[in-house]
Amino acid sequence: MITQILFNIPDPMNSYQQFIRYNHLDIPDMKDDDLQTEFYSLRALLYWLPPDKQWIKERVRELGKEYGRRHYVQNQNQLTVKTSSEPQNKVLRTVDL
């Protein structure tokens, strides 16, 4: 009952949009703000729900994965390669001990 008041779990047999949402196929197309909002809202909701609400747990897990993937890709794109003025082919010198 509290789930229906605070959050509607989609019925995959009701419509195509609800089928997509029920199977978490809408997550890659979500805007960053919507993704974060839903993630934190549902995560907080988990504390108030009985432990048998498997779909919400799955949803939070999938939202977290997508958020982590986007964050990782964003950080990878910000990495810069440092260039050096030294030549790339360095000659190794052996040292007699």
46-58 pLDDT, tens digit each: 888 777 788 999 9
Joined together, the tokens standing for residue 52 give 């048998």
pLDDT surpassing 60 at residue 14: yes
- Domain count along the chain: 1
Are the C-beta atoms of 42 and 56 separated by less than 8 Å? yes
What's the chain's average pLDDT? 79
- Mean pLDDT over 55-71 rounds to 91
Q: Is 58 within the bounds of a domain?
A: yes
The answer to whether residue 87 is domain-embedded is no
**pTM greater than 0.85 (yes/no):** no
Smallest Cα–Cα separation from 35: which of 80, 65, 73?
Answer: 65
Structural domain boundaries, residue 56 = 2-78
Model confidence pLDDT, tens digit, residues 18-43: 999 999 999 999 999 999 999 999 98
